[in-house]
Amino acid sequence: MLYLIGLGLSHETDITVRGLQAVKKCKRVYLEAYTSILMAASKESLESFYGKEVILADRELVETGSDEMLKDADTEDIAFLVVGDPFGATTHTDLIIRARELGIKVECIHNASIMNAVGACGLQLYQFGQTVSMVFFTDSWRPDSFYDKIMENRKIGLHTLILLDIKVKEQSIENMARGRLIYEPPRYMDISTAASQLLEIESLRKEQAYTEATPCVAISRLGAPTQSFKAGSLKELSNYDAGEPLHSLIMLGRQVHDLELEYLYEFVDDKDSFKKLVLQDQEFFKPPPYVPPTEDDFSN
């Protein structure tokens, strides 16, 4: 059996009871180590809590070495641990498909992830649209595919959760070209970088999917003891120090419920100023008033 087990967001003890029971009976335990990190735990603390050796599984192993991970999984129990929920990252579906092709049974044990815990900021999960990812820009690569999805969300009034890039066990272009297995130090995108990149793309596209005044919410270390939120304009957050990683960003949609707004006031510098931002933003993509059809409309 292959077990895909969600670990939650922060502590080694965030694993569910059922997940822990599964880990303890597994022959090998892999920890997916490239889409996210446990903010208040480490490989060593997991091993101590589980009483099992934990094998770090980087992107290369998961994406190209799945046969090694799945070896003997038809007769032995193997665990694949994922920070958050196993389906929080789409890359893990490939591992499940490969296991099925080999006739290996798969069981998924779910846990909290950014996708549902984000509701802790006070915004209602029902009011979220498509989630997008923001990668680090380079001198030669500044992808803007996220922009169109934000535009779609904003047109129908929905909030957008923006997941920020992390770089773990990445090689420089030079080292990769020379075949040197030298890896760069881990990097985690912060709020100010994400907001600045968003503003840069808007300045290039000029389609006003959002503006400097668009209200947003910065999320820092969600699920950890030091979790915090900060609400303000996109421009304000481009200069915001969000502290230690991990960070995420939410861009508000037009349909902000009164209860959502009241909750967000806890995280603003100036209540009246933020309310003004939200009310102004609600005019963007505002649908025209409904006009009932007339008899002439039906006759045509």
pLDDT tens-digit series, residues 228-261:
999 999 999 999 999 999 999 999 999 999 999 9
Domain assignment present for 96: yes
Q: Are 219 and 264 in contact, with CB atoms under 8 Å apart?
A: no
Same domain (yes/no): 119, 249: yes
Same domain (yes/no): 142, 227: yes
88 is in an annotated binding site: yes
Same domain (yes/no): 166, 95: no
Confidence class of residue 44 from pLDDT cuts 50, 70 and 90?
Answer: very high
| Count of structural domains, the chain | 2
Cα–Cα distances in angstroms (integers) from residue 109 to residues 57, 246, 290, in the given order = 18, 23, 46
Confidence class of residue 59 from pLDDT cuts 50, 70 and 90?
Answer: confident
Same domain (yes/no): 274, 243: yes
Same domain (yes/no): 26, 148: no
Query: What's the domain range around 252?
Result: 115-283
Calpha distance 166→156 (Å, rounded): 30
pLDDT of residue 112: 95
269 is in an annotated binding site: no
113 is in an annotated binding site: yes
Calpha distance 68→78 (Å, rounded): 11
More confident residue, 94 or 270: 270
Map 174-221 to HEC letters: HHHHCCCCCCCCCEECCHHHHHHHHHHHHHHHCCCCCCCCCEEEEEEC
Domain assignment present for 297: no
pTM tops 0.85, yes or no:
yes
Confidence class of residue 64 from pLDDT cuts 50, 70 and 90?
Answer: confident
Same domain (yes/no): 135, 249: yes
| Residue 209 CB burial class (10 angstroms; 0-12, 13-18, ≥19) | buried
Would you say residue 97 has pLDDT above 70? Answer: yes
247 is in an annotated binding site: yes
Same domain (yes/no): 68, 187: no
Would you say residue 171 has pLDDT above 60? Answer: no
- The β-bridge relationship of strands 160-164 and 2-6 is unpaired
Domain assignment present for 42: yes
Smallest CA-to-CA distance from 248 within 169, 193, 201, 204 is with 193
Q: How many CB atoms lie within 10 A of CB 140?
A: 6
pLDDT tens-digit series, residues 280-292:
999 989 888 888 8
9 is in an annotated binding site: yes
Domain assignment present for 68: yes
Would you say residue 204 has pLDDT above 80? Answer: yes
Among residues 68, 86, 112, the one where a domain terminates is 112
110 is in an annotated binding site: no
Same domain (yes/no): 63, 143: no
Calpha distance 219→249 (Å, rounded): 6
What is the CATH classification number for the domain harbouring 76? 3.40.1010.10
Among residues 53, 84, 112, the one where a domain terminates is 112
Calpha distance 185→171 (Å, rounded): 9
Same domain (yes/no): 9, 43: yes
Domain assignment present for 294: no
